[in-house]
Amino acid sequence: MGESLKKLFEACSEWLSSLGLNGPLGQVFHVAILMALLLLLGFFIDRITRAILRAVISRIVRRTKTTYDDILLEKGVFHRIAHLVPAVFVFYLIPEIFGGIYMEVQDDATQLIVQGWIKFFRDVVAIYMIVVSVMIFFSILNAFNTIFRKLDVTGQIPIKGYIQFIEGLLVLIAAVWIFSIVFDFRLKGFFAGLGAFVAVLVLVFRDTLLGLVASIQLSVNKSIRIGDWITMPSRNADGVVMDITVSTVKIENFDKTVTTLPTYALVSEHVQNWRGMEESNGRRIKRFVNIDMGTVHFCSDEQLDRLQNLSLLSDYIRQSRQQIAMDQAKAGANPALPG
């Protein structure tokens, strides 16, 4: 198929040359028209690929019993892959189609212009491929997060912070890659001189780095999970943890207000977690009751008779009086004395 397309573009190039597009200006228009035709071809390939994926993948997803592929389809993973296919196709066709065009140009200035156009066209396609690839990884990570939240361990290990860190790392790598394409420098030399820039990055992304370390500690130690009831007096937070990310934690208080605080605060400050009380299905409440010591005495028979009329105390008092009477009889004690 690649050879057929190459011959097709060579035929178009010969036809354009027959129209008189051979001079310096004509050669520039020649290259521009071929670029437009190549973009048009990429557009048709994109449409065809999306139609095939929509028909084939959707049918396969509907027939499978698992829900994981449904989530991948819902998050647009296959849709974005369809956008990558024509870009890759066009990128590898550029040297095949335009490889010998600028060699035919006799004028040096026109040759430089043609070379610049071809390089610019290829750079734009390469940047598009990088952006689409990052978006595909974003969709995969979002799908993984959705799948993970459906598992039983969702509340135990919050992974949204890790996913955000990976997304940020992908954006950083993509940005450096794009800058290397735009400004035409080698990545090896860039990363060799990156060590001096690390200190600045640490200062700029201080909260993010602290939050990443804190989220790792929370996940490993399982100290705080999504859904836990926590209390932080220093932050006036008292409620249920709604979300844990790299940079922030959202807590829904009992008055329905939402408190947002940095993730590293859960590690560096005092936090009271009520998870153990909720898992035990009970709660111990401490209250102070003031008792006048002058009123403490043995109950008389009249008081016992009156208390025995209460349904909650009736059986207990009757059994206790019988047991006391039996103990006094065995010991030969005077029944008139308090037992």
The full set of domains in the chain, from first to last, is 2-150 (no CATH), 211-279 (2.30.30.60), 300-339 (no CATH)
- Mean pLDDT across 314-321: 88
> Which strands form 229-232's sheet, in the order they lie side by side?
258-262, 248-253, 237-244, 229-232, 272-273
Q: How far is CA 51 from the centre of its chain?
A: 29
Give the model confidence (pLDDT) of 165-190 as tens digits.
788 788 888 888 888 888 776 666 56
pLDDT for 58 equals: 75
Task: Give the number of C-alpha atoms closer than 13 A to the C-alpha of residue 103, restricted to the C-beta side.
Answer: 5
Q: Read off the pLDDT band of 1 (50, 70, 90).
A: very low
Q: Read off the pLDDT band of 208 (50, 70, 90).
A: confident
Phi, psi (5° rounding) for residue 238? -150, 95
Reference 321, options 295, 337, 301; nearest CA is: 301
| Geometric angle at alpha carbon 147, from 170 and 52, rounded to 5° | 75
Go through 296-312 and write b for each residue having 16 or more CB atoms within 10 A of its CB, e for each that does not: eeeeeeeeeeeebeeee
Give the model confidence (pLDDT) of 185-196 as tens digits.
666 656 655 565
The tokens describing 23, both together, are: 């001079």
In 257-338, where does DSSP find H-type helix? 265-268, 275-279, 301-308, 311-331
pLDDT for 335 equals: 60
Give the model confidence (pLDDT) of 85-136 as tens digits.
888 888 887 777 666 554 454 556 666 666 777 788 888 888 888 898 998 8
Length of the chain: 339
Give the model confidence (pLDDT) of 18-50 as tens digits.
655 555 555 666 667 777 777 887 888 888 888
Q: How many CB atoms lie within 10 A of CB 27?
A: 23
Looking at the DSSP assignment, which residues form a beta bridge with residue 281?
A: none
Q: Quote the CA–CA distance of 44 and 161 in Å, as a whole number.
A: 39
Reference 69, options 56, 54, 58, 82; nearest CA is: 58
Q: Look-up: residue for tokens 């690839």?
A: 133
